[in-house]
Amino acid sequence: MGSKNKLKRFKENETFQNVLQPSREEVVTGFELKGKWNSFFKNDNPIVLELGCGKGEYTIALAKKNPSKNYIGIDIKGARFWRGAKTAIEEEMKNVAFIRTQIELIDFIFGKNEVSEIWITFPDPQIKYKRTKHRLTNTTFLKKYHQIVTEEGTINLKTDSEFMHGYTLGLLHGEGHEILHSNHDVYKNHYSPEEVINTQTFYEKQYLDQGKPITYIKFRVKY
C-alpha cells in the first residue's frame, strides 16, 4: 500500500464515528468508555472482540450474522481496518466499532466481565523464544482476557500456524483451562463450527492457496 493511500485512509478514519484512536496515555490514565461500552452502542447487548483484526473480516461477517451483539475490532494498523470500518458505515451497521491501539492495553479499555467473547484470527505466532511475551495466548494475555471476559465467555483462536496451535493447547492443558473445541484442520474435519469455516480472512485465503491447514481452538480461561 502506497504512503499516499495510507495517509488518505488515516484521514478518513478520523471522520468515522465507529473508529476510536485514543493515545496510549488516554488509555492508561483512565479510558472513558471502560465499563461503559453500552453507552457507546446505546444498548446492553453482548460485546465481542476481534484482536489483531486486520481488515476486519471477522468483525464485519459476525456482526452481520448476529445483529443482537456488538463487535469491536482492535488493531494498531488503522490503514488496514479502514476497510472494515468503511463497510460498516456504508451498510449502516450500528453494532460495529474499531479501536486503533495495542492489544496489550485491552484491560485498560474494557471493564471486568464486559466482554462475552474474543476472536484471535491469524496472529503472528512469534516463534522465536525471545518473542514469547508477544504471543497473544501466553499466560500474561490469558490473564488479561480473564479480567474482561464474563465467567462463561469464550476465546477463539484460528491460525495457520501449527506451532501456535500446539503451543496454545499445551499451555491451556498445563494451566487447567477449559478447552471446548480443538481442530487441527477445520476444512477437512467433519465437525467445524459454522462461523469458523464460513468466514475467511484475506490472509487465510492466501494460506489455503499454499495448502496450509487452518487450525482452531475454542476455550474458557479459568484462574
Q: How confident is the model at residue 189 (pLDDT cuts 50, 70, 90)?
A: confident
Asked: is 3-220 a CATH 3.60.110.10 domain? The reply is no
The pLDDT of residue 169 is above 70: yes
What pLDDT score was predicted for residue 81?
Answer: 94
Q: What is the rounded distance in angstroms from the CA atom of residue 82 to the CA atom of residue 60?
A: 12
Q: Which of 44, 75, 107, 124 is catalytic?
A: 124
Percent of residues, the chain, with pLDDT higher than 70: 98
Q: Give the pLDDT confidence of 107-158 residue by residue, as tens digits.
A: 999 999 999 999 999 999 999 999 999 999 999 999 999 999 999 999 999 9
Cα atoms in the Cβ-side hemisphere of radius 13 Å centred on 159: 24
Phi, psi of 72 (to 5 degrees): -130, 120
Q: Which residue has better confidence, 6 or 81? A: 81
Secondary structure of 119-156 in HEC code, one letter for each residue: EEECCCCCCCHHHHHHCCCCHHHHHHHHHHEEEEEEEE
Mean pLDDT of the chain: 94
Please check whether residue 110 is in contact with residue 34, taking contact to mean a CB–CB distance below 8 angstroms. yes
Q: What is the rounded distance in angstroms from the CA atom of residue 139 to the CA atom of residue 128?
A: 17
Active site residue 209: no
Cβ contacts of 132 within 8 Å, gap of 6 or more: 126, 138
